[in-house]
Every structure is written in structure tokens, then in C-alpha cells.
Structure 1
Amino acid sequence: MKQPHDLFETGLLRESARERLTAELGSDTIQRLQQRSNIRGGWAVISCWLSIGLLLACSWFAIDLLSYWAIPIVLLCLLFLGGRILALAILTHEGAHRTLLANSKWNDLISHWLCAAPVYLDLAKYRYHHAQHHIHTGTEKDVDLPLIEGFPTTRPSLMRKFIRDLTGQTGVKSLIGLCLMNAEFIRWNVTGVVDKVNHADWHWYHHLRAFFVNSRRTLLFHAGFFAICFSLNLTVVFALWWAAYFFTYPFCIRVRAIAEHAVTERTGDMLRNTRTTQAGLLARALFAPCHVNFHIEHHALVSVPFWQLPELHKLMQEKNITPPPPSYWQVLKLAASAR
């Protein structure tokens, strides 16, 4: 049986994109773009956690020292904290492709504990699930299709989705779903699809054991996080993290998912079933951390690490392989263009 990382390459070789890129850019250029870096990947993780710490500190100081301005400052910090939690999920995605760090053992160790565990993801399960997305992107077998089905929709419908995100409804539903997946009541996925697992001979304690085994890294991480916050009399910081996880992180995920594949062609051609999006400072902070907006480039060459994607984008643009990217605002208008 092929290993998960082999499956990414299998999906890649099904398309003509790599052959075209090799012909247009040259094998030496592609080989250079595929080089990983422990320094670049390590700094991405460190800088993400530094920004998370800064946002949590700003929120705490606003609550502790300010009165009138505390609410808008905390709300603003929670919005950007949702984008930073998304950044951890994107770094998990990078680790799943084994492009976060050059050292494969450290790639998985860092991805497991500092990226996936905090956001309640499982690197191994995500790696296999995400490989299926790359193999079948844009076809009926694409496991991520539920994320983009129903688009384009109407503006009121899109606003209702955002309201559900920002009021915590999506976050609570997602957390319950992840708990049920880890307890192996339903099959693991990242789209919210309920696919029951047939464990007819299982009793409640089998599911309880499965929950703790599959959730162990997240439970250990957040138990340690809470213990540190409690010992320093900073439990509000722990609460702020989970507030962002429930209220703003789902919103950031939704916009990111819409931008990547919604309202694209239903075809196996990765140059037409995927979208690269232009991202300014605000978009990079909220929806496009770690250059995830260069999504055509990522699908075309999955072995290129995130920090090399801007150069690959530039080269592909120079060769007229891809169209000029739209902005996030333009994509959202297209996603809400139904009558």
C-alpha cells in the first residue's frame, strides 16, 4: 500500500501540469523550488506563536487596564487571533506535505505538537484525508467538495453563513464533530460530513478510549496551556484562545476555502479547478497566512514549500500559465452572485 506522501505524488502525476511546468521552467528551477528549509519552517512556527502571544497579551492588557476601549480592542484582537489559529492549521497542512521542515522527523514532531494539536487536528489523519483531495481535486471523488458545494449562492445566504461563524455556531458544531470523529462514532474528515462508522460490537467504553487516544495530543497541549495560565492567574488568556477558536477561526476558514476552490470548473485539470487569490496585508493576516493564497501553484507542485510559492507564482505568471489572480473581495462577490 502506498504511503500518504506517495499519494500526493500519484495525484500530481495524473495531471499534465507538472510536465508543462518542467518544459516551461526547467527541471533545475523546479528542483530548486522544492528545497525545504529547517530555518524558514522553524521561524514560521515561532513567529506564528509570537504573534499569538502578542494578540493574547494585548487582549489581556485591554481587559485589565482599560474600560471604554476594552471591548473593541479585544474584538479586534480576537479577529486577528482567528487568522493566527488558521496559520497553525496551514502549517499543519504544510507538515502534512512534509514541506514544513527539511528534517522529516522534526517536520512531523513540530507539526504534531505545535501546529496540529493546538487546533484539534490529527496530522496523520489529515495527511491521508488531504492526499485524497489532491488526487481527485475538482472531481466527484474530491473529499473537500462539501466545503464549496452550493456556490455561487445569494448574498443573504453567504451572510447567514458568516453570521453562524461569527456567533460561534459553526465553531461549536465543528468541535462536537471532531469529538465524535475521535471517538470513532463518525469517520474523520475536515468538511463536516457525517459518515457513521460501523462499530456494532463496540460499547461506550470503546468509544471513550478511542476519544482519549485520538485526542491525546490536543488534550495534553491544552491541559498544559491551562495549567500555565492558571498558575500565572491568566485564565482569561486561555478563555480568549477558545473565544477566537469558536468565533473568528471558522470565519477565516470559510473565506479561505471559498477562495481556493469555490465557483471553479468541475474538472480534473488543476489549473482550472483551483484558484490563486491576490492577498494584501489584511487578507494575509486573516485568510492567507503562509502564502496559502498561491493555491494553483501549490496544487501544481505539492512538493514546493510555502515560502517558495511566491517565486513559483511569479514564474508561472511570466510564462502565462495562470491568469492574473482576483482579490478576496472579488472572489466573495462571485461566490454570492446567484439570484
Structure 2
Amino acid sequence: MPAVKAANPREVFAAEDWRAITTLSRWRGISLVLHGWMVVALATFGGAAAWAYDWRTGLLVTPFVLAILGGRQLGLSILMHDGAHGLLHPDRKTNNWLGQWPTGAATGSDLHAYRAYHLTHHKFTQQAEDPDLALSAPFPTSRDSLRRKFIRDLTGQTFYKQRRAQFAVALRGAQFMLRREGSNGKADTHAGRALNMQNRTGLNAPVANVEGAKTTARTVGRFLLVQIILLAISLLVWGWTPFLLWLTALATTFQLFLRIRNIAEHACTPTGSGDPFTHARTTQAGVIARMTVAPYWVNYHSEHHLFMGVPCYNLAATHRLLGTGGFYPRMTVSPNYRDVLAQVVR
């Protein structure tokens, strides 16, 4: 199918407004990455302090800590996504390092593999060639089905399934590297089957060849290295508790928030009309949503699809300019995430 129609910014914005929202800052991306890790540190060590004070206090505080951590882990993934678009920093090398190490590696993603995968999603949004179509195609679904998905996320089942597939391919990739085996153009069907699942943050980009398996091995290697560094910091400063809180959030709340965010972006939208303003949904987000399912302005997804050269920190301004220009009636805008979830169940 042909690529989806793109919006023409010259028909939407004044030249000075367009220049303002697309100008990349040399410090905002770095500051957002630092912010994400500062919140992680405060949450993990605050949770550890609660457990050290009293086990009852620890039990009471832990759900809130896991919610905050899951939200920042999603936030790091969102910043990696901005890096995939070249929007974290105007210098390409700095941008790619920020997107590969302190953001992508923390949650097990590879910036470069994700970039190729994700740009295909933008090119063929909600069409047969869209690699993200499996995220929105099942909706609307039954309330029971959605509840089962949420339970699998919060009990670690989703995390285990995804990591098992990723690590299986990484093991094959490591074997290829040890044998110095290069790509011969033939598909590695075992790796392909293991990774033929829907990617949601870049951690399981579909791989069906030797070089792809090697990429997955490197991705897992970076992920494990970051976890070892976090564990070392945890043990040096406080003991096991901060790291266990981080890891538990990665296996539970991160997965849940990731799913809700994915549902909100495209499920049950009228994409396919040929109007680029219908390709995604924007969801209004309050304080709690911004701390959990919508960090770093990711809720402005319609704006991102319309103008993917706008960095995340300028999406809210883009939204306001679209409102001033009278474009809201053409867009899919939901008042909150509860409203979105009500729309996607039948």
C-alpha cells in the first residue's frame, strides 16, 4: 500500500512558529534524561528507606514506588524514541549516545534497530505494512480480555515472555559472534520465530537473520551491563532493596503503563481516511497520568505523527497552536486515559 499522507506544516503554522517548535535545544534532552534518572534514584532509595524504617511502611509505600518507577522507565523509553527521531540533541553522535545508553539500554532496547522499525510505522501507520498494527488491530476487545492483559502485565508474565524470546535470540547471536559467522543472506528461522512478536519499545524488533541475532545479543549485553551497574550502585549505597524495586517495576508497572500508552495511541482511531490528522490519538493527561502512562508529553501522539520533527518538549506547544488554528475538530482527542479504555472495550 502507498505511504500515509503527510501533513504540510506550511499549511498549518506560521514560519516563526514552525521554526520555534522544531528547533532542537542542546540541553533540554540531556536535562530530561537526567530528570528521569533522578526520579528513579529518589523513588528506589525512598522505597528502601521505607522498608528500613518498618516493614508495614514498606508494604504501604511500595505500590506508589513501583508506579513512579514504571512511569520513569516508560519515560526513558520515550526519550529513546525521541533519540530514534534525532530529537534528543542537535549533535547526531550525542543524540545517538543518549538514545542508546542511558535511555534505551536501561529497558533493553537498541536505538538503531528501533529507528528502522519505528520509521516504518510512521510511513505506513495503521496499514498492512505497519509493524505496530498488531497493537491496535485487536481493539475493540472485551472487558475480560483487557483485564487478563493487565493481569499478565502486573504479574510479570508479559515481561517473562518478552525477555525469554529476546534472550533466546541473543544467545544465538552470541554463538554466531563466537564462531565469527557472518550473514549469508539465509534466514535464521529459529531466531525469526522467537522474535516474531510485536515490538513495543524496540526491545524485540523482528529479527530473522544472523546479523539481526547479533544485534539482539549486543542489545541484551548493554541491558545486562546497565543492570549490573544499577545493582552495584544499589549495593554500595543501600543494599539489595533499591535494585529489587527497580527490577520489579520493570517486570510489572512498566509493562502495564506501556500497554495503556500503546492502546491510547492508535486503538479505535479512524486512520485510513487519507487525512493525516486522523492517524493517531492525543489524550489529555493530568498529573497522575504524566507520572505514569504519559511521561514526557507522549500523550500528544497525534501531534507527533503529524510533525515528527518536533521534539517531545515542544509537543504541548504544538497542540496549542493546532487549537488556535482550528484543527481540533479534525483530530482524535480524548479527555483522559479512562475515556480511552472505555472506547476500546465492547
Q: Would you say same fold, with TM above 0.5? A: yes
Q: Is the 8 A contact 1:279 1:293 kept in 2?
A: yes
SS of match in other structure, 1:69: helix
1:97-135 deviation digits (Å, cap 9, x = unpaired): 010112221111122110001100000101111010000
Q: Is the 8 A contact 1:146 1:193 kept in 2?
A: no
The AA in structure 2 aligned to 1:335 is: V
Work out the number of aligned pairs and report it. Answer: 318
SS of match in other structure, 2:244: helix
Consecutive unaligned residues of structure 1, counting only runs of 5 or more, are: 1-9
CA distance in 2, matches of 1:328, 1:74: 23
Match of 1:130 among 110, 115, 118: 118
Q: Is the 8 A contact 2:80 2:98 kept in 1?
A: no
* Residues 246-255 or 317-326, more deviating: 317-326
* Residues 311-320 or 224-233, more deviating: 224-233
Superposed, 1:76-225 pairs within 5 Å as: 76-182=64-170, 183=172, 185-186=191-192, 187=195, 190-191=199-200, 197=208, 212-225=217-230
Match of 1:17 among 3, 7, 12: 7
Q: Which residue of 2 aligns with 1:244?
A: 249
Superposed, 1:293-308 pairs within 5 Å as: 293-308=299-314
CA distance in 2, matches of 1:100, 1:118: 16
1:261 CA drift (Å):
0.3
1:318-338 deviation digits (Å, cap 9, x = unpaired): 2221337211111010011x1
* CA distance 1:322–1:71, shift in 2 (3 Å): same
* CA distance 1:51–1:277, shift in 2 (3 Å): same
RMSD of aligned alpha carbons: 2.4
The yes-or-no answer on 1:277 pairing with 2:283 is yes
The AA in structure 2 aligned to 1:17 is: A
1:180 CA drift (Å):
3.2
The AA in structure 1 aligned to 2:300 is: F
* CA distance 1:118–1:214, shift in 2 (3 Å): closer
1:272 CA drift (Å):
1.1
CA distance in 2, matches of 1:160, 1:46: 35
Q: Is the 8 A contact 1:277 1:325 kept in 2?
A: yes
CA distance in 1, matches of 2:342, 2:238: 45
1:177 CA drift (Å):
2.4
CA distance in 2, matches of 1:93, 1:198: 24
Q: Which residue of 2 aligns with 1:325?
A: 333
SS of match in other structure, 2:19: helix
| Identity across matched positions, percent | 32
1:198 CA drift (Å):
5.5
Q: Which residue of 2 aligns with 1:7?
A: none
Match of 2:236 among 231, 235, 249: 231
1:181 CA drift (Å):
4.2
CA distance in 2, matches of 1:141, 1:315: 31
Q: Which residue of 1 aligns with 2:316?
A: 310
CA distance in 1, matches of 2:248, 2:82: 25
CA distance in 1, matches of 2:312, 2:267: 21
Consecutive unaligned residues of structure 2, counting only runs of 5 or more, are: 174-190
Q: TM-score, normalised by structure 1?
A: 0.87
Q: Which residue of 2 aligns with 1:26?
A: 14
